[in-house]
Amino acid sequence: ATPTALMVGTGRSAKMGILIKNGEVLEAVNDVKTVVFDKTGTITVGKPEVTNVIGDEKAVLELATGLEQSSEQPLASAIVKRAEENKISVPAVSNFQAIEGKGVEAKVNGQKAFVGNDKLLEDVEIDSEMKQQVTTLQEEAKTVVFVGIDNKVIGLIAIQDTPKETSKEAIADLKARGLKTVMLTGDNQLVAEAIAKQVGIDEVIADVLPSDKADHVKSLQESGKVAFVGDGINDAPALTVADVGIAMGSGTDIAIESGGIVLVKNDLRDVDKALALSKKTFNRIK
Ligand code: ADP
C-alpha cells in the first residue's frame, strides 16, 4: 500500500502547488524541530529598493553604479535601478572584483573604488556621526553599503527589502506547531534582527558567508531535524544538507534542483501546509 498512499499524498499536494519529490522527505518531516529561512527572496520580497543616499547623491550613485553594473547581487540591482531613474552617467571601471560577504571593488581613474559593508573597510576611517547614521538606518531594517574611493568614504546607500505579505502568518503557523524558526543571512545583525522582529522569527544568525550556510544548518541539526527554506544559488548546499530542503518555485534552478520540496506558488504559508500534508501522508503509509 505504501507507494499508492505516497502517490495520493504527493498528487494532492501537487494540486496545491507543493511538489514533493520523494518519500524520504515525507519521513524526515515528522521529526523536524527547526525551520531555517534564508532572508532575501524567501522571507522578503527579494526586490530591494534604494531608500536613502547620504552624501553628494549624484557622485555617490555614479561611482556605485560603475561598480555594481557588473554585480548580480540583489543590492546591486537596486542601486543600478535607482541610477537609471536618475539618469546618472557611469564612469569606466576596470579590474572589477566581487568579494564574498563584503561587496565589490574596482579601479576608477586609476584609484581603488569600493561599495560594500564595513568588513570591506579595513583601512578606512569612519567618523562617529556616520557610524550613528548607519546604525539608525540598520535599525529601520535597511541594509547600508559604504561607497568610496582612494580609502575615503564618499557616501552611504541604504537599501530596503520588505517582508512578503504572508511571511508573518507563515512563521506564526510554524511556531504554533511547536517548531523553532531561524533566519540565516549574509546581511548585518541589526538589519536581520529588525526584519526578524517584523515577521516573528525566533532566532537570527547574521553575517553568514554564503559558503558557511550549510555548516550552520549542520550545527542546528545537533538539536533535531532541520528544514531549510531558500531560493538562491547560495542556498543550494544548505537545501541539500537539511533533512528537508524546501525551495521557492521562483528560486534559481539550482535551488529548485536541491530542494526535496518545491513551493510553486512562492507562498511561505505553504511551508506549514507542506509539513502538515507530509505528516498526514506519512502517518497513513506507516
Ligand atoms: P545575502 O545573499 O544573504 O545577502 P551576500 O553574501 O550576498 O548574502 O551579501 C552579504 C552582504 O555583503 C550584503 O548584505 C552586503 O553588505 C555585502 N555585499 C555583497 N555583495 C554586495 C554588492 N554587490 N554590493 C554591495 N554590498 C554587497
CA distances from 103 to 38, 75, 130, 132 (A): 19, 10, 19, 21
> Contact, 258 vs 266, CB < 8 A?
no
The per-residue pLDDT for range 26-58, each reduced to its tens digit, is 788 888 999 999 999 999 999 999 999 999 999
| CA of 14 relative to ligand 1 center, distance in Å | 34
d(CA 64, CA 58): 10
Asked if the model's pLDDT at residue 284 lies above 80, the reply is no
Return the H-helix or E-strand segment holding 104.
strand 103-108
**Across the strands, what pairs with 80?**
none
| CA of 156 relative to ligand 1 center, distance in Å | 15
Lateral strand order in the sheet of 103-108: 49-55, 152-160, 142-149, 111-116, 103-108, 94-99
Mean pLDDT of 243-271: 93
Quote the longest CA-to-CA distance of the chain.
Answer: 71
C-alpha cell, 90: 557611469
Instruction: Count helices and strands (H / E) in the chain.
Output: 11, 13
Confidence of residue 1 (pLDDT cuts 50, 70, 90): very low
Confidence of residue 67 (pLDDT cuts 50, 70, 90): very high
Q: Which of 31, 38, 231, 272 is catalytic?
A: 38
Return the H-helix or E-strand segment holding 35.
strand 32-38
Asked if the model's pLDDT at residue 6 lies above 60, the reply is no
Dihedral (C-alpha) 197, 201, 207, 210: value to the nearest 10 degrees? -140
| CA of 138 relative to ligand 1 center, distance in Å | 14
Q: Is 127 a residue of the active site?
A: no
Return the H-helix or E-strand segment holding 71.
none
Instruction: Give residue ranges with CB within 6 A of ligand 1.
Output: 39-40, 68, 71, 73, 75-76, 101-104, 115-117, 143, 145, 185-187, 210, 234
The per-residue pLDDT for range 139-185, each reduced to its tens digit, is 999 999 999 999 999 999 999 999 999 999 999 999 999 999 999 99
d(CA 206, CA 221): 18
> Contact, 131 vs 102, CB < 8 A?
no
Whole-number CA gyration radius for the chain? 21
Confidence of residue 244 (pLDDT cuts 50, 70, 90): very high
Asked if the model's pLDDT at residue 202 lies above 80, the reply is yes
C-alpha cell, 7: 502517490
Mean pLDDT of 181-198: 97
Q: Ligand 1 atom 21: the closest Cα is on which residue?
A: 103
**Across the strands, what pairs with 226?**
34
Q: Indicate the residue type of 40.
A: T
Show the domains of the chain with their CATH numbers. Answer: 2-44+163-285 (3.40.50.1000), 49-160 (3.40.1110.10)
Return the H-helix or E-strand segment holding 185.
none
Per-residue model confidence (pLDDT) at position 142: 98
Q: What DSSP designation does 162 have?
A: P
